[in-house]
Amino acid sequence: MTHPEGTVHYDSSDRIAVLTISRPAKRNSLDAAGAEALEAAFRRFEESDDAVAILRGDGPEAFTAGADLTNPPVGGYGYVPNIGVTVTKPYICAISGWCIGVGLALLQQADLAVATDDAVFRYPEPDLGITRGLMASLVGRIPHKVAVELVLVGKDMSAADLHRAGLLNAVTTRDDLMPVARGLAERIASHDPLLNVFLKHCIEETIPRGPGEVAERTRWLGNQLPANRDRLRAAGLRS
């Protein structure tokens, strides 16, 4: 399924939401408008009756190529669940093709993830000479040396690499990507939704958080205060 270019499309059926980053001509990279749309989609999911969400990219070439550096998102990582927008319900990443930069942050925060066998994962910030330290939290989720190789060395990693490291639940073909992701979602959706929220909360409280992740979350929470929201709107950093 394809959607209008430049949107984040929301589909819902059987208490499963599918959020599609739809900018295939730009490898689903997130510009300022796309980041706002993704944050809005996660807010919609949080407020809906849907029990679980699947996040995917439009088309087979990329989950997301990360931030669009020609028109980057502003105001931090408001569109990344639980670093920015609060998401108490489970979400699953379904990754095909490239997963770059902030795509890894979306994967890091996901509860489950599946990827195609040709998916490639890259963290480019050290090569670009910029970082806010967010991806250091990977060391709390996968083995230390694997995290360092991905984050500091900047090595491209395959789906098989990250499956062995425990960051992916399954590796599959392009044709089977969404059926596998939806199978996981259907099992979650069959459970008591309050139980899902409770167990996710317990898991979130157990996962180690790096200083970059804590700082970004603290900054985002502060920006939700009414006076700060007004200041950011006046500066053009919030809609």
Query: pLDDT tens across 103-114, in order?
Result: 999 999 999 999
**CA distance between the termini of the chain:** 29
Tokens for 189, please give them. 């959706």
Instruction: State residue 187 phi and psi, 5-degree precision.
Output: -65, -45
Beta strand residue intervals within the chain, DSSP E: 7-13, 16-22, 52-57, 62-64, 91-95, 98-100, 112-116, 120-122, 157-158, 170-172
Q: Which residue has the higher pLDDT, 231 or 153?
A: 153
Which position has the token pair 């995917």? Answer: 56
- The overall average pLDDT reported for the chain is 92
SS3 category, 231: helix
Q: Which domains does the chain have, with CATH numbers?
A: 7-234 (3.90.226.10)
Residue-wise pLDDT for 66-101, tens only, equals 999 899 888 789 999 999 999 999 999 999 999 999
Q: In terms of Cα–Cα distance, which of 179, 185, 168 is closest to 121? A: 168
CA distance 146 to 159: 13
**For the chain, percent of residues with pLDDT exceeding 70:** 92
**What count of other Cβ atoms lies within 10 Å of the Cβ of residue 21?**
27
Longest CA span, the chain = 48
The DSSP secondary-structure symbol of 234 reads H
CB 153 within 8 A of CB 135: no
Supply φ then ψ for residue 43, to 5 degrees. -65, -45
Q: How far is CA 41 from CA 44, 50, 87, 149, in A?
A: 5, 12, 11, 32
